[in-house]
Homo-oligomer: A and B are copies of this chain.
Amino acid sequence: MFDPMCPSSVLPFRIGDKWTGMVVRCLEQGPRRFGELRGPLRGVTSKVLSETLRAMERDGLIRRIAYPENPPRVEYDLTPLGRSLLPLLDAARAWSREHLPELLRARQAYDAD
């Protein structure tokens, strides 16, 4: 049912990563520098953000653009592949807006038992 190479088993792992979806969302309006990502992604450490960006670059979801300036300037930009995730993130957000209160109520009731 869930072959290791089956899309249904690869995908939840990849875009399900806690920060990947948020980085895609942060880059929706255009390229950003590392520091411009760290601000909105509250709670992420530099180490974890670096690893996330490297993994996303490896997967072709973002491009790293280094400008030959002094001091050097580096920006991250969504690729068309990364941008193709936006409708999925929209759907996840819509689900959450509709159903999250119910989920949190269930959690409270469970913990109260």
Contacts and interface: CB of A to CB of B under 8 A. Distances in A.
A65 interface: no
A5 to B, nearest CB: 9
A74 interface: no
A84 B88 contact: no
Interface in A55-113: 57-61, 81, 84-85, 87-89, 91-93, 95-100, 102-103, 105-107, 109-111
B16 A60 contact: no
Contacts of A109: 60
A84 B93 contact: no
Nearest to A3: B42
Interface residues of A, number: 53
A13 B87 CA distance: 18
Nearest to A8: B93
8 contacts: A7-B96, A16-B17, A58-B107, A60-B109, A81-B99, A81-B103, A84-B98, A88-B95
